[in-house]
Amino acid sequence: MDVMINAILDSLSLATLLSVALGVVLGIIIGAIPGLNAPMAIAIAIPLTFTMSPLSAIGMLIGVMKGGGFGGAVGAILLNTPGEPHSAATTLDGYPLARSGKPRKALQTALYSSVIGDSCSDIVLILLAPTLAIFALKAGPVELAAILILSLTLIASLSGNSLAKGFFATAFGALLATVGMDPETATPRFTFGYVELFDGLPLAAIAIGVLAVPEIIMRLEEGRHYGKHKPTLHDQHKGDDQLKTKEFFGLRKTIFRGAAIGTVIGALPGLGTTLAAFLSYASAKRFSKTPEQFGKGSLEGIASTESANSAVSGANLIPLLTLGIPGNLTAALLVGAFLIHGVTPGPMIFERDADLIYGLFAAMIMANVMVLLIGRTGLQFFALITKVPPYVIYPVVLLLCVVGIYVSQGGFFAVWLMLGFAVLGYLMIKLDISVVCFLIGLVLGPMIELSIRQSVVLLSQSPSSIFDYVFALSLLCATPMVAWILIRDRKRAGSNQKE
């Protein structure tokens, strides 16, 4: 008990508070810039922590991680430019709501949902870390393959008006995900001699290419048709741009469902925020009383994605702190920061460095509070972006996209890829092919391929051993039922529209 009290008092010191606040500000700023993300912000911030105490240093990086989670929503909502692939889910409803003249309401929903989702996962981390770590450790390739297949089936509900086009887009994305090095043989595939493709297609460049740039092109088309004096985004709709308490209270089930999904996904190493965001979005649409509003500015859509992807950040620390296994790139960078300050993550960390860990837990809660306070203060400035005339904002957004991708990927190759996929995204939108499903296939493709190939190797000697994987077998059996329910609901919705 004395260790916990001393650790909490250390976390409340001025140095730690300022470090966490600086990290939150840095994370929000970098996260809001197209093409930049929280892992990049952490990589930039690590050298700044060399002279700090371990608690202040780790607290600052935690602040960067949490601030970056909300920062990605700012660009996604106001500019339709996701900094990371998981922010693409937020653009689905955040940007339409901002275009309707309610950017502040969209940002408030994202901020509050993000903080609640993050706080829930932090509480789970503090109370149940060892238990969940044991569960995560038992989830091998067979279980991960089953989870991904079921998740992909659930996310198929985002395919728009045509399931066939949705499956085509997903398959096309998964095909492009095979570009790069073979995960087993380490031989190049579909790289056509370009060394830049050995690590695969850059997700940030493609996400911005198929989402942001086509949107700019279509807005410019509208400007040409409607004249030079087209109203700004803010003026297109007059209405209440404040999130009412009653409206937010009505989102409670969606937010806590997203937090639960994000916590479970985050506790499993390798799955990441993108799967959590889209899976939560699909679940929210499935259980919503107004699913027809999704994609048109639904508050439920924003709340579901932001609560889920923010919950992943805290849950990712569960396998990191208890087992020493980083769940994603952000957690891997935090491992480096721990080692720099003489702390080795793993089962013994709670015994050797208990004061640091409990201080870190307190710093995580403080970081959530600071994200709320700093983000709430910045909302009024963020929302002003929508008052800028289109002929000014769209060239600036395009410039930010190019600069962000150039800096993050280290060259013009990714910029040309972004522009090439912008043409593809424009054609997909015109042909009513789901860009979302394409991105899902691209993001989940490598994970599904690797887990399935590992599962085949494990089961090749004795196929009957599949019955030893009860959890995976249950998920695989549930997948056809889920697919049937989705198809049935889609047919009912189609028949109701005809009536």
Confidence of residue 494 (pLDDT cuts 50, 70, 90): low
Q: Which residues contact 92 (CB under 8 A, 6 or more apart)?
A: 158, 281, 294, 295, 301, 305, 436
Residues 44-91 have pLDDT tens digits of 777 777 788 888 888 888 888 888 888 888 888 887 777 666 777 888
Q: What is the pLDDT of residue 227?
A: 44
Q: What is the pLDDT of residue 255?
A: 94
Measured at the alpha carbon of residue 125, what is the angle toward residues 120 and 129, in degrees to the nearest 5? 145
Strands 188-189 and 180-181, bridge-based pairing: antiparallel
Residues 322-381 have pLDDT tens digits of 766 666 667 777 777 777 777 777 667 767 777 778 888 888 888 999 999 998 888 877
**Does the pLDDT of residue 492 top 70, yes or no?**
no
267 token code pair? 């506790």
Residues 163-222 have pLDDT tens digits of 777 778 888 888 888 888 887 777 888 888 888 888 888 877 887 788 778 877 877 776
Phi first, then psi: give them for residue 188, nearest 5 degrees.
-65, 140
CB 385 within 8 A of CB 77: no
As a whole number of angstroms, the distance between CA 299 and CA 94 comes to 8
CB 409 within 8 A of CB 204: yes
Q: What is the pLDDT of residue 273?
A: 80
Q: What is the pLDDT of residue 134?
A: 64
Looking at every residue in the chain, the average pLDDT score rounds to 79
Q: Which residues contact 388 (CB under 8 A, 6 or more apart)?
A: 232
Residues 305-327 have pLDDT tens digits of 999 988 887 787 877 777 666 66
Q: What is the pLDDT of residue 303?
A: 92
Q: What is the pLDDT of residue 149?
A: 81
218 token code pair? 């279509």
224 token code pair? 């040409």
Residues 136-159 have pLDDT tens digits of 666 778 887 887 787 777 766 666
Q: What is the pLDDT of residue 229?
A: 41
- Partnered with residue 188 across adjacent β-strands are 181
As a whole number of angstroms, the distance between CA 330 and CA 101 comes to 34
Q: What is the pLDDT of residue 256?
A: 94
Q: Which one-letter DSSP state was computed for residue 328? A: S
The DSSP line for 19-71 is HHHHHHHHHHHHHHSTT--HHHHHHHHGGGGTTS-HHHHHHHHHHHHHHHHHH
CB 159 within 8 A of CB 166: yes
As a whole number of angstroms, the distance between CA 130 and CA 206 comes to 37
**Does the pLDDT of residue 257 top 80, yes or no?**
yes
